[in-house]
A = this chain, B = another copy of it.
Amino acid sequence: MQPSVLIVEDDAALAELLEWNFSSEGFSVRQTGDGEQALILAREELPDVIILDWMIDNISGIEVCRQLRRLPECQSVPILMLTSRGEEEDRIRGLKTGADDYVTKPFSPRELMARVEALLRRSRPSLGGAALTFSGLELDTTTHQVKRDGKPIHLGPTEFRLLRHFLERPKRVHSRDQLLDAVWGMDKSVDLRTVDVHIRRLRVAINVGDKPDLIRTVRSAGYALDTAGSDLAAS
């Protein structure tokens, strides 16, 4: 999923620079130079990270920070404060108020992006690679949650491991033997046909409604996770 950033900065030139940087990193960007507006925007749609200038119109950045932290839904959103005030006292005040990081101007855009990345790695492990996705399918290994197009799906333990194995190697064909080794464990003595049954259970769980089948059957070879599914119209 595309990460989103809210930039609160009233210096137009700097705002544009930031916007350009985040955009080219694939962020969806919203920007304002106004403190009040920032609070509204943040509440309206929760960003993944907030870049907050110390000196902005209407309210001071630190006050915005405090207000944001009061909102229960915003407490988990990382805030990076941006300022030309290099005083130690200010930095400490910013951090104590609830900011997660504090960068002084002038700053290196690349370092800023690296710091934002570090923040995101913490708050959204899914962006750090803990969540596996494929064509509308999401599997979060830390929360053990599976979704198809945003809708939660319930899976049994074996189907969960099976799907995870597929998501770790998408599009690739796995023989029944390989699947037994990887999902059941090589010490298990289970019939090969058992794989078929679990593939089916996984299919009915995943393909709710009229969603296209994401599991492709490769005759006399095995199965693969693929957008084509069991579609045969490719001829």
Which of A's residues lie within 8 Å of B, judged by CB? 72, 75, 78, 88, 91-92, 95-96, 98-102, 108, 110-111, 114-115, 117-118, 121-123, 133, 142-145, 152, 154, 156-157, 171-173, 218-221, 224, 226, 228, 232, 234
Which residue in chain B gives the minimum CB-CB distance to A169?
Answer: B142
Is A110 within 8 A of B122, CB to CB?
no
Complex alpha-carbon distance, A192 and B193, angstroms: 33
Which residue in chain B gives the minimum CB-CB distance to A153?
Answer: B234
Residue numbers in B under 8 Å from A123 (CB-CB): 122
Residue numbers in B under 8 Å from A173 (CB-CB): 142-144
Kindly identify which residue among B96, B117, B122 contacts A122, using a CB–CB cutoff of 8 Å.
Answer: B122
Is A224 within 8 A of B143, CB to CB?
yes
Interchain nearest-CB distance for A167 vs B (Å): 12
**With A122-B123, A143-B226 as contacts: A88 and B100 at CB distance below 8 Å:** no
Is B144 within 8 A of A115, CB to CB?
no
Which residue in chain B gives the minimum CB-CB distance to A123?
Answer: B122
Complex alpha-carbon distance, A220 and B145, angstroms: 14
Kindly identify which residue among B91, B133, B156, B232 contacts A72, using a CB–CB cutoff of 8 Å.
Answer: B133
**With A91-B114, A144-B221, A171-B143 as contacts: A152 and B96 at CB distance below 8 Å:** no
Is A108 within 8 A of B88, CB to CB?
yes
Which residue in chain B gives the minimum CB-CB distance to A133?
Answer: B72
Complex alpha-carbon distance, A91 and B108, angstroms: 10
Residue numbers in B under 8 Å from A232 (CB-CB): 154
**A–B pairs, 9, beta carbons within 8 Å:** A95-B118, A100-B118, A100-B121, A100-B122, A122-B122, A143-B224, A144-B224, A152-B234, A157-B220
Residue numbers in B under 8 Å from A234 (CB-CB): 152, 154
